[in-house]
Amino acid sequence: MIRLATRSDINVVTDLICEFLQNTSYHDHTDNVDINHIKQLVYVILQQGYIWLLYKDNEAVGLLAAVRERNIWLPNKITLRELVWYVREQYRTSVLAGRLFITFCNVAQRLLETDNIVGYFTTRMSTTADYDLERRGFRLTEKLYFKD
């Protein structure tokens, strides 16, 4: 099951984001994660965007968070940016993980068609499966690497 998160889900979302951080290149720095900061970010995302929670057997096993924002290069344009798409490893190759991404794309497409955004972004993280985004109509705009 996939559903939109609410304010009552802040702790669940925070826990999943902390798992995400531990499973990416940020893992060497997770001892410095400020839980209150993450909770504040979750609250802001709930106000300015979307957080979808993925459930398997009544347990949250993943999330996709996206925020509407002014494009940094074209500030008069509003885009939808996926911030995190995280699914626990044992469910990443499942149909459920794909449905989470499709949910994001469907909402983004409706926003695009109603002129609420001019486009939407997704990011391939180190925890993301290597799937063909260009086949889904995306164009590569940048790759982001982290060195610490």
Does 141 map to a domain? Answer: no
Ranges of residues in the chain with a pLDDT under 70 are 24-31, 124-148
pTM more than 0.85:
no
| 60 located within any domain | yes
| 102 is a domain residue | yes
What pLDDT, on a 0 to 100 scale, did the predictor assign at position 121?
A: 79
Distances in Å between the alpha carbon of 87 and those of 54, 80, 118, 125, 148?
Answer: 8, 20, 27, 11, 25
- Parent domain of 55: 2-136
Please give the tally of structural domains in the chain.
Answer: 1
Residue 143 domain-assigned (yes or no)? no
| pLDDT for the residue 26 | 58
In a domain, 148, yes or no: no
CATH number at residue 65: 3.40.630.30
Query: What pLDDT is stored for residue 124 in this prediction?
Result: 60
Position 120 scores a pLDDT of 84
